[in-house]
Amino acid sequence: VPKHYETDLESVLIPNGMIRDRIDRLARNILEECTPHSEITLLCVLKGAYLFFSEMISVLMRLNVDRPNPVRIHVEFVRLSSYANDVSTGHVRILGLNLAGLYGKHLLIIEDIVDTGRSAIALLEELRRTEPASVRFASLLLKKSPHWNGFRPDYVGFIIPDAFLVGYALDYNEHFRDLDHLCILNDEAKAKYQVSLTSNPMAALLMSGQAAAVAGVPSSS
């Protein structure tokens, strides 16, 4: 753990090496179940999934070299955002989804974490506007959250306890994405990097995605 983060962390939950070992395993499972199609489109859910996605695609590329029937891989990206501090606002903003590019494709959604499951369901709903050939969902983490809506990904790296995690691209108000291990944030750090949604109404609006509506601009969705 880098020195500047030491005092902010309760503990390391999953070290980087263990994350990468698990992704190697997941990638093998994914390729085994891919054989009928010769093409797959990985849809990376930004920002939290960028490291999981990049590690996953590196492993898939490496495995493909030795395969008698390699799988062609395409990539797409979408930005989903719904958190303020450590709570889901319940409003999932979806930006930059290339619906036309997903038509008829075998999709594999790449997420870092399923917590309440709201982001996952919102994205799957949005994907119904196009007609993918198939949709599967890989999440590095599935949290045992009391707010879980029951959405179960097809591939899960680790099932984790109900604690707020940062690192390996997961953030707390945009901090800690550059931490290589998955760590539990302590209460002092939560307070230190907290964004006040009452004293900063604009931040609250932006985070909940309602700014455009409030400003009188018609919502794009």
Decide which of Mg ion, ligand PRP, Mn ion, none touches 116; Cβ closer than 5 to 8 Å per partner kind.
Answer: ligand PRP
Residue 190 in contact with residue 83, Cβ under 8 Å?
no
Distance of closest approach, residue 112 Cβ to Mn ion, in angstroms: 6
Catalytic choice (8, 66, 86, 115): 115
Which residue in the set 26, 30, 40, 48 belongs to the binding site for Mn ion (CB under 5 A)? 48
In the numeric block, which tokens belong to residue 11? 């503990």
User: With binding defined as CB under 6 A, does residue 208 bind ligand PRP?
Assistant: no
Site string for Mn ion, 1-40 (x = CB under 5 A): ----------------------------------------
Among 14, 114, 138, 183, contact with ligand PRP (rule: CB under 6 A): 114
Residue nearest to Mn ion (CB): 48
Subset of residues 51 to 90 that bind ligand PRP, contact rule: CB under 6 A = 80-83, 88
Q: Does 157 bind Mn ion (CB under 5 A)?
A: no
Catalytic residue check, 115: yes
- Sequence-distant (≥ 6) Cβ neighbours of residue 32 within 8 angstroms: none
Cβ closer to ligand PRP: 106 or 118?
Answer: 118
- The binding site for ligand PRP (CB under 6 A) comprises 45, 47-48, 80-83, 88, 111-120, 171
Which residues are known catalytic residues? 115
